Structure 1
Amino acid sequence: MSDSSSPRTVPARLPLATAPQASALLRSLTGLLARWMPRQRWFAGKGRPLSSLTLVSATELLPCTGGGPIPGLLHLLVRTRLGGQEGAPPAGDCYQLLLGVRPTLPPTLNPALVGRPADGPLRGKAVYEALHDARLAALLLERLRAPGRLGGLTFGRAPGSAIPSGLPARVLTGEQSNTSVVYGDTHILKLFRRVSPGINPDLELPLALAEAGSGRVPAPAAWFEATLPPPPDTGNSTGGGRDERHRDGAEPMTLGVLAPFLSGSSDGWQLALRSLAERTDFTGSARSLGRATAEVHTALATVLPTVRLGREQLEHVAAAMAERLDEAAEAVPALRPYRAGLRRSFDTVADFARRGGTCVAQRLHGDLHLGQVLHTAETGTWSLIDFEGEPARPLADRRRPGPPVRDIAGMLRSFDYAACQHPAGGPWVDSWSRANRTAYCQGYAEASGQDPMDQLDLLRAYETDKAVYEVLYEARHRPAWLHVPMAAVRRLAAAPG
């Protein structure tokens, strides 16, 4: 795959597009962004200094260099290099930024301030996180309502989708790897922060499920991508639509997806915590959630290719799990005493493969847990959302087919996570988790005809791999939560091989 976001690619038909202007812009913002980006929840390089920034593209959605009261809106793609990466290849993480520009900043927007450049085309102006400005967030919605191109950005819209104009915007708070904006009570925009060439599964899979007629996943209404131009020496600096981009050998980056907002729904995590707090039965909900998961898997297998994993592929799966375990144990010392016990689950999969075992793999949700499902009380139905996969993993990995038990293992871990939040703990809480794990698998088997427990060794291996991922994630982002996956690590390491 060609690196369509290399530093040489600066859109050539934009107000800030010439090389000197782009260089001056980045120089004026580098210091501000280098201090601001590492403090953001979506920044992946926690704990390491940001040593350099490279401008990938700059697009003015609203003019930023005027002197009037109308705010400017600047879209940036910047590539980062972290401290200690001097010997690393040039390609680093690419981030999407939406920056507002005003001569003076209203007090309500002070928390969103990035800083004031001391020089360059934005000298002295207030540069801030644009999505917190309702006026600029509304402009982005208008761009999504009107398909077409603006510089290096392409806006697409699903045929027949109804997107009202003039909807009030509000940014969702909470811990996210991306940024979400709710418009009125009808739509939600997910803006991907860490981006790479290729279609994001959070656009690809819901579009495929809409084609399959699945009612379990909100269908995308609109989206936008970065269609970066090829190198200047090709003689084509303007690019084109999706087909033309592929002819050039470059893949668009998915930047954001607008989907229906399921107003009045509650996510599974909050419902599970409420059940634990009130000591109520949740197994009926868990069973119906298992059926919903099976329906989504069945629909994905209908419209997208499936493969059968044989000995070589399954041995590779087991080896990759063991490698991730070793890497996590190096980063998190608390994991090291359990490494041998956890590895037994992966060895069991390799042994299964050597005995001639196989399994079917298909496209999956990729990061399924109770926070990624919504329950609508009015209809009594579950919906699955957020098909991006685990953001820390490369996009190619997140788009790779896998056994359905991988998603199931993620949900089983989520029931454990919820149980660990109960302050009292004890036998009732443990029983709650076991009962709902069982009910979820039963519901899945009822709807799919495939009982996850028939693949117990593979299921346990994926649950172990997920727990290892959680240990590394919590150690980096939420150390106070590390005890939750560590409880699972101790249980899984002590399980017989």
Structure 2
Amino acid sequence: MLDELLATWIGRQRWFGGKGRPIDGLWIESDVELTPGLRHLVVAVRQDDSRERYQLLLGERTVLPERLGHALIGTLGDTYLYDAVHDSDRTGWLLDGMAREQDHNGLRLRHMPGATIDTSPRSLVLGAEQSNTSLVYGDAYICKLFRRLVPGVNPELEIVTALAARDAPHIAQPYGWIETDLDGTDTTLAFMQEFLSAANDGWDLALTSVRDLYASLPEVPAAEAGGDFAAESLRLGSATARVHHELAAAFPTDVIAVHEVKRMAEGFRRRLGRAVAEVPELREHVSVIEQAYHEVDLLTSEVPVQRVHGDYHLGQVMRTPTDWVVLDFEGEPGQPLQERRALSSPLRDVAGMLRSFDYAARHLLAGHPEAGRLEPRAQEWADRNRAAFLEGYAEGGGVITEADATLLRAFEMAKAVYEVVYEARNRPAWISIPLAAFRPRS
């Protein structure tokens, strides 16, 4: 009966990865009582020929408070079953377990060496996430529960703990994690870090700057408009280079041979072909994109690779009162774990951030009645902040040679092609944002 309730409920959750496809089967692989009224479930979902696992903190109450009504899964007899991440009366167990390093029927709760965890704060769920669920405990901690479970150590835990061991800057300090065994492999269930309560989201700060520019007189250049963001973009570029340096020091590095670089360009072309078949608006830009990929074919030197962020954009960075902090090192959650842990060129991260500046500049123009008049201002803002970021990256020790610039442009083109397909599928009104990437820049 519980599996039937879960099969109905899980498909409606924002973190469920199989939306739009029927659930062919659901079963509970693991059911551990953590404390009276709180259970930890690992649920397997079959769709078509694939199986995915998800984790759930299942709460049980005979009376459900109104504040938990939105978390209701269903009832069995006289017992209400609900998603207990929303129940601050229950989630203190996670803090307590990490503080005491408990082992609980296959669940292992750990804290960083030397860390002291205050178990008194109560939790609140952050509402913005899609693929995970994060609990904020007071102004001290943020604990991310990885809803979709993939056997293995999550890259975010692996990277942040390694950087913290080096006293690296630009990261939120780690405090603890929860793990279990899946398919005989240590698997990360949750990761807790310092909560940056006084920090501001990079995307929000950038949008504020763009709004200020649009509100200023047309003849006022971006450099003189209120809320100019270029100085922050410069600092962010420097911080990004430092993070790349620390990643290269903490993990193995390598190079990819010239023939492998050409194979990468061929992969870009295959994805472009599929994208054009799905989104006809791309067709008129194929020659520009192909030219960028052709330039990669002409490279004659090896390309250094290392661990990278893997999903880098303005929403993954926070501005504290003193500097920029980089978050969410888990890579793209929808990709296989092996891919997320693979070595890659740091230019991939640089390209992701450059694309994010373009998105910030044009995000407010989607459906705007004066989009045509404001487009040059959007281009000006994007160009100014892209240049500042690259300048800061160089000042921070990030090297971009002529060959690197060629590869960087190809990474940008490939990212923009991906964005076109995404927007066509999910937000057709936004498709003009990535399409602008293929126009000549001043």
TM over 0.5: yes
Match of 1:287 in 2: 234
Residues 419, 432 of structure 1: 8 Å contact kept: yes
Deviations 1:402-441, CA, capped at 9 Å, x for gaps: 1110000000011011111234533222101101001100
- Is residue 2:415 matched to residue 1:466? yes
Q: In structure 2, do the counterparts of structure 1 residues 323 and 258 end up closer, same or farther at CA, with 3 Å as the change threshold?
A: same
Q: 2:247 aligns with which of 276, 300, 305?
A: 300
Alignment of 1:345-424 (within 5 A): 345-352=292-299, 356-377=300-321, 379=322, 381-423=323-365, 424=371
| Alpha-carbon distance between aligned partners in 2 of 1:124 and 1:431, rounded to the nearest angstrom | 62
| Alpha-carbon distance between aligned partners in 1 of 2:35 and 2:392, rounded to the nearest angstrom | 50
Once structures 1 and 2 are overlaid, which stretch shifts more, 292-301 or 386-395? Answer: 386-395
- Is residue 2:387 matched to residue 1:438? yes
Match of 1:30 in 2: 3
TM-superposed deviation, 1:331: 5.1
Alignment of 1:200-279 (within 5 A): 200-228=154-182, 250-279=184-213
Match of 1:49 in 2: 22
TM-superposed deviation, 1:366: 0.7
| Alpha-carbon distance between aligned partners in 1 of 2:15 and 2:423, rounded to the nearest angstrom | 14
- Is residue 2:84 matched to residue 1:160? no
TM-superposed deviation, 1:273: 0.8
Match of 1:94 in 2: 53
Residues 55, 149 of structure 2: 8 Å contact kept: yes
Match of 2:74 in 1: 115
| Alpha-carbon distance between aligned partners in 2 of 1:175 and 1:478, rounded to the nearest angstrom | 18
Q: 1:177 aligns with which of 128, 131, 151?
A: 131
SS at match of 1:221: strand
| Alpha-carbon distance between aligned partners in 2 of 1:145 and 1:366, rounded to the nearest angstrom | 31
Q: 2:46 aligns with which of 81, 98, 107?
A: 81
Deviations 1:195-233, CA, capped at 9 Å, x for gaps: 2111111101111111222021113110011224x6xxx
Aligned pair count? 421
Q: 1:309 aligns with which of 244, 253, 256?
A: 256
| Alpha-carbon distance between aligned partners in 2 of 1:166 and 1:464, rounded to the nearest angstrom | 49
| Alpha-carbon distance between aligned partners in 2 of 1:107 and 1:50, rounded to the nearest angstrom | 30
Residues 441, 452 of structure 1: 8 Å contact kept: no
Q: In structure 2, do the counterparts of structure 1 residues 309 and 135 end up closer, same or farther at CA, with 3 Å as the change threshold?
A: same
| Alpha-carbon distance between aligned partners in 1 of 2:136 and 2:158, rounded to the nearest angstrom | 21
| Alpha-carbon distance between aligned partners in 2 of 1:335 and 1:44, rounded to the nearest angstrom | 27
TM-superposed deviation, 1:344: 3.8
Match of 2:65 in 1: 106
| Alpha-carbon distance between aligned partners in 2 of 1:77 and 1:475, rounded to the nearest angstrom | 34
TM-superposed deviation, 1:46: 2.1
For 1:363, the aligned partner's letter is R
Deviations 1:426-464, CA, capped at 9 Å, x for gaps: 322210110100110010011115136651221111112
TM-superposed deviation, 1:475: 4.5
| Alpha-carbon distance between aligned partners in 1 of 2:174 and 2:405, rounded to the nearest angstrom | 35
For 2:74, the aligned partner's letter is G
Residues 225, 253 of structure 1: 8 Å contact kept: yes
Q: In structure 2, do the counterparts of structure 1 residues 92 and 323 end up closer, same or farther at CA, with 3 Å as the change threshold?
A: farther
Residues 419, 429 of structure 1: 8 Å contact kept: yes
Q: In structure 2, do the counterparts of structure 1 residues 337 and 143 end up closer, same or farther at CA, with 3 Å as the change threshold?
A: farther
Deviations 1:59-112, CA, capped at 9 Å, x for gaps: 11124xxxxxxxx11211122222xx2xx3xx5222122221112211111111
| Alpha-carbon distance between aligned partners in 2 of 1:434 and 1:452, rounded to the nearest angstrom | 20
TM-superposed deviation, 1:324: 3.4
| Alpha-carbon distance between aligned partners in 1 of 2:416 and 2:261, rounded to the nearest angstrom | 19
| Alpha-carbon distance between aligned partners in 2 of 1:277 and 1:348, rounded to the nearest angstrom | 36
Match of 1:68 in 2: none
RMSD value over aligned CA atoms? 2.1
Q: In structure 2, do the counterparts of structure 1 residues 194 and 481 end up closer, same or farther at CA, with 3 Å as the change threshold?
A: farther
| Alpha-carbon distance between aligned partners in 1 of 2:272 and 2:106, rounded to the nearest angstrom | 40
| Alpha-carbon distance between aligned partners in 2 of 1:226 and 1:132, rounded to the nearest angstrom | 22
| Alpha-carbon distance between aligned partners in 1 of 2:28 and 2:171, rounded to the nearest angstrom | 36
For 1:393, the aligned partner's letter is Q
| Alpha-carbon distance between aligned partners in 2 of 1:40 and 1:104, rounded to the nearest angstrom | 23
Q: Percent sequence identity over matched residues?
A: 44
Any unmatched runs of 5+ in structure 1? 1-27, 64-71, 118-122, 231-249
Deviations 1:320-373, CA, capped at 9 Å, x for gaps: 333333444555555455456434433432342xxx321100000111111111
| Alpha-carbon distance between aligned partners in 2 of 1:145 and 1:329, rounded to the nearest angstrom | 52
Residues 258, 303 of structure 2: 8 Å contact kept: no
Match of 2:85 in 1: 131
Residues 318, 349 of structure 1: 8 Å contact kept: yes
Residues 170, 243 of structure 2: 8 Å contact kept: yes
For 1:364, the aligned partner's letter is V
Any unmatched runs of 5+ in structure 2? 214-226, 366-370
- Is residue 2:13 matched to residue 1:40? yes
| Alpha-carbon distance between aligned partners in 1 of 2:349 and 2:284, rounded to the nearest angstrom | 27
